[in-house]
Amino acid sequence: MIRLGGMFLAGYLGLIVLTPLWHALVQLLGRWQSWMRDLPMPNLAVLVTLYLALAVRGSPSAGAACAAALGYVTDLLTGAPKGTHILSYLLVFFVIRGMSARLYVQGRFSQIGVAFLAALFNAVVVVAVHVALPPRGRWSTLIYGPMEAGMTAALAPLVFYLLWRLDRRLAREAATEGVFR
């Protein structure tokens, strides 16, 4: 059982590591096309955190631990102060987990809407932490939040489906349950 959990976490972290590769590709293409230089990046870690919060199986403490691990890896990859993304992903996890009984996310449009709101909330928390820390950030960077949230929401149904397939592959008893079928 621990081996399956480790492989599951490795799949989640693999998605997070692919994000910088996407960013490098966009930067490389941006050398030829100037409009591609400012493309917002989808926040795959928010989608993984949403999947953990809305998935049927797993305890809340295990999901929170995975969200914290994703936040730590994101802090390492982005160069943000340690704890910035850990705090934001844990807040997203617990808010969505607390509202999970009231959220209906089986439809594609509802998945897009919930992912947009969660990514926007995550952006607000990250900017608020950056403004509060000593090398003071600016609230004006929040203007990129809706664009990033839109890109994240556009990829939400595909990422949720891939994570559900990975979950079903690793744990056969999860094949018939879950909100992402």
64: pLDDT strictly greater than 50:
yes
Domains of the chain, start order: 2-174 (1.10.1760)
Residue among 166, 163, 178, 180 nearest 48 (CA): 163
pLDDT (mean) for 84-94? 92
pTM of the model: 0.79
1: pLDDT strictly greater than 50:
no
Comparing 129 with 136, the larger pLDDT belongs to 129
Q: Between vectors from CA 152 to CA 132 and to CA 109, what angle results, nearest 5°?
A: 125
CA pair distance 161, 139, nearest whole angstrom: 34
